Amino acid sequence: MNVKSILIVLVLLLAFTLCRVSDKPDFAGEQNRWRAVHLLRIYTAADVDTLVDFIPQIAEMGLNVIILEVDFNFQYQSHPELILQKDPITKEKAAALAKACKNYGIKLIPMFQCLGHQSWEEETYPLLLKYPEFDITPGAYPHNDSIYCREWDPLNPNVNEVVFDLLDELIDAFDADAFHVGMDEVFLLGNEKSPTTKGMDPARLYAKAVNDIYDHLVKKRGVEMLMWADRLIDGEKYDFGEWEASMNGTAAAIDLIPRDIIMVPWHYGYRKSYPSIPMFLAKGFRVLPASFSDTSAVKSLIEYSYDFSENKNMLGHLFTTWTVHSVDSLLAFPAIKVGIKTISRLESEKIK
């Protein structure tokens, strides 16, 4: 092969490589704003198989990010005593899902509920069952009566040793460059029945939990960190109530945590304005607003958020699907259809 032929081949290879790179979604660019969906009920290996089969249709809907809540439904090697399912998600199934998502330009983000949501109704989840000393209110509230959900103790250093092993396994199995840590609806920090935190400042306790996880995920593992933002919204200042905002003293933690955490403020009811969004943007956080099932609220939240689309820290939108019980019903979920249509209209109007 002569020099001219070699140069032609090199040019063609370079052109092919550039085309391949440009085909990959650049999630920092405005043209690839996040159109994300949070999925909850993928509990088993068989569930993952079903999800893989539906990835082409999910991509066709216009979604380009999946946040998959895994929690204790994975075949953990480091702490098998914490596996919840008989047929949990395996690392092979996680790899298959990651590959399918990558093939269709979808960013896959695993999620594990940290700090709060360690129980639901009368069921306490494996971490506090196997390690009751990790409970922030050990021995209190039998059958989880009179509380929303159990929480782990952010002052017990042994909690992080165990939980970080789980997070590491999920990062590796899903080949993740971002991780959602939950952190919503926390109510027991400083509780009178908490022997370690009673009377302490909930904001500082909450910030410690956030910062511990941040140090591991971002500083050590090099992945981006997402979290629900409700505990950082001051419910005395913003009229969102005690669920979408904090009325229990955690809101001041917003000035005690790193600014490169991605905030996910969820607002499920219809409003004309959502002041948490400009508040987080003004603080320097990246923001991914989240909606649920009320289609008028979905449309309103997206339209309001889009007014801040010139801000590079406005990432896009997240659709939650708490009442969707199967992947096939996800495709018909009215809130996503309305939301994607609204986003497309706003994008089209901006181009004009």
CA distances in angstroms from 246 to 13, 165, 186, 229, 289, listed in the order given: 55, 30, 9, 10, 17
**Residue 28: predicted pLDDT:** 41
- Condensed to tens digits (0 to 9), the pLDDT of residues 61-88 reads 999 999 999 999 999 999 999 999 999 9
Q: Which tokens go with 152?
A: 């782990």
Q: What is the mean pLDDT of residues 315-330?
A: 95
As a whole number of Å, the CA-based R_g of the chain is: 21
Beta bridge partners of 286: 262
% the chain with pLDDT above 70: 91
Q: Global pTM?
A: 0.91
**Residue 202: predicted pLDDT:** 98
- Nearest of 236, 256, 254 to residue 245 by alpha carbon: 236
Where helices occur in 174-307 by DSSP H, the ranges are 202-214, 241-244, 276-283, 295-306
**Amino acid at position 78, single letter:** S
Classify strands 290-291 and 286-287 as parallel, antiparallel or unpaired.
Answer: unpaired
Domains, the chain: 34-351 (3.20.20.80)
